[in-house]
Structure 1
C-alpha cells in the first residue's frame, strides 16, 4: 500500500510547488489517486483431532492361551477382576481370579500390581498389558513369574448380562449353595436388603451386597469371617459380586475379593 500511494503524493507536492512559482497554470487535471488493493486471503487449514477412546470399562468374555475361559470386569475406576476357569453343565466354574488396578489410555490398558488368587495360593507381582475397543474387545497378555499367558475377549451378550442395567438386590435375595475357590461348600442366606449370613461347616461369617455407586450392574460385597475353624478367622474381605441368568434359565452368582493388604482372598460361585 505504501508503494502505490507514493506516486500521487509526490505529484501533488510538485503541483503545489509549480503553482507557487507561477508555472503549471492552465486547466490540467490533477492525477487521480490509485485505487486501493484488497489483500489476498487464504483459507485456514482445519485439522480434525483423532477421537480419544473411552476407558476399557465393561464386561468381557473370552479364552486364555492355556485353554481356559475368562470373564473380565473392568470397573469405572479401571480396577478389574478376571475370573478364569471352565464351563461345565452350562455354568462357569472358577479356578482362580486376577485382580488389579489398571489404567486405560486411549486403546491401551495396563496394570502392574496384579494379584493372582488360585485354588491353592495367592501370588503377587503379575502384570497385564492389553489393547481394547470399549465394550467390544480386550486382548493382551498376563506375565507372571516369567511365564506369559495371552488372552482374547469379546463383549458378553446383553441377553446374558447387561453391565449398564440397574443392579437388583431381588436377584440375590434368598438361599444360595456356593462353592469356594478352595473347594468348600457354603450356604449363603441373603435378605432383601443385601445383608447375608453364611456357614461353611463350623465356620460362620456375614456381610452385605451393596449396589455399586456407579449404577452399573455390579455389587460391592464385604464379608467378615468368624473365629476358628474359619481359615480366614477374623479377616474382612471386600470385592465384587455379579449375577446373571444362564441359557438353561438358572441364575449364577460369582463373588471375588481380597483383604485390605491384598494378602488373603476369597471367591465363591454357585447356581440356583
Structure 2
C-alpha cells in the first residue's frame, strides 16, 4: 500500500499508553453485510503530501473506518477509527477517534467525505475535542501500493513468526501466529506476554479481525483486551495491526515484518 513500504522501513510501532515494566475472535463491532442496493464507500484509499507524509484509509463493508498515517520520514504517527454511514455518495462519521502518537493525545473529530465507490474518498474533517480548524484530504485507490483490499484474506498470509515494536520507546516485540490464527507474543526482555487471534474477516476482503489480550505484567495494558483489524502486504512480508480497547480510551498499533 502507499505507506506499507514507508511504515515497514521505519519498523516502528506507536502506542498511546506505555508498556512500562514490562484468544478468541476480535474485529470490529458489526460484521453484518451491507445492503447491496446502496452505494458504499467501502475500499482502501491512500493519500500523500509533498513532504512525504501520508496515510491509508479503509472503509469496511459495515461502514467502519480505520486508517493509519505517517510522517515524512516514514515514522508511523498514529491511526483513526470510527463508524459511519453511506448515503448517496456521501460518507459521514460523527465520532472518529484520532490516536495521535506524536502529540500523545486522543482527538475526537467528525468527517464528511464524497466518494466514488472503491475509487476515491475526498474527506473533510472537523476536530471536535480539542477543537480545531477543518482540514481536507483526497485519497484514491490508485495511490494504494503493496496492498489489495479486494484480494481474499488468507490465513497463510498472516501465519508465521513476526518481529516489530510496541510503543514509542522502541520496545521490541516477537509474535507467532498459528495456522489457525492464534497469537502468542511477548515484549522482548520483559515479562509482558499477550495472546489473541488474527483471523480472516467474514467479508471476504483482505482484512483480518484481530483481538489481543495482555497479561498482568504489561504496564498500562495489564489484563487489557484490544480489538480491531490487521492487514498484510501483498507479499505477506509486512503486517499492520490497528486495535483499541472497548471504551476507545487506548489505541494500539503494531508494525511488524516476517522473521
Q: TM-score range by the shorter chain?
A: 0.7 to 0.9
1:59 paired with 2:44, answer yes
The number of residues matched between the two structures is 215
Question: Could you list the per-position Cα deviations for residues 191-230 of structure 1 after superposition, in whole angstroms to 9, with x for gaps in the alignment?
Answer: 1111011111321111101110111110000001111343
> Per the alignment, in what secondary structure is the counterpart of residue 254 of structure 1?
strand
- The aligned counterpart of 2:68 is 83
- In structure 1, runs of 5+ residues without a counterpart are 1-51
Output the TM-score relative to the length of structure 2.
0.76
Instruction: Give the one of 105, 108, 114 matched to 1:131.
Output: 114
Q: Greater CA deviation, 157-166 or 191-200?
A: 157-166
| TM-superposed deviation, 1:65 | 8.7
Q: What TM-score does the superposition give when structure 1 sets the normalisation length?
A: 0.72
Do structure 1's residue 190 and structure 2's residue 172 form an aligned pair? no
By relative contact order (CA 8 Å, sep 6+), the higher-ranking structure is: 2
Whole-Å Cα distance in 2 between the matches of residues 138 and 121 of structure 1? 27
1:138 match: secondary structure: strand
Q: Which has the larger radius of gyration?
A: 1
User: What's the secondary structure of 1:147's corresponding residue?
Assistant: coil
1:104 aligns with 2:86: yes
Q: CA deviation at 1:159?
A: 7.2
Written as runs of structure 1 = structure 2, the 5 A alignment for 1:133-172 is 133-144=116-127, 145-156=131-142, 160-172=146-158
1:148 Cα offset (Å) = 2.8
The alignment status of 1:270 with 2:252, answered yes or no, reads no
Q: Which residue of 2 aligns with 1:220?
A: 209
Structure 1's 149 and 67: CA in aligned 2 closer, same or farther, altered over 3 A? farther
Instruction: Determine if contact 1:59/1:156 at 8 Å carries over to the other structure.
Output: no
Paired with 1:252 and 1:178, the residues of 2 have a C-alpha distance of 10
5+ unaligned residues in a row in structure 2: which ranges? 1-36
User: Any runs of at least 4 consecutive aligned residues in structure 1 with deviations exceeding 3 A, and if so which?
Assistant: 64-67, 156-159
Superposed CA RMSD in Å reads 2.3
For 1:205, the equivalent position in structure 2 comes to 194
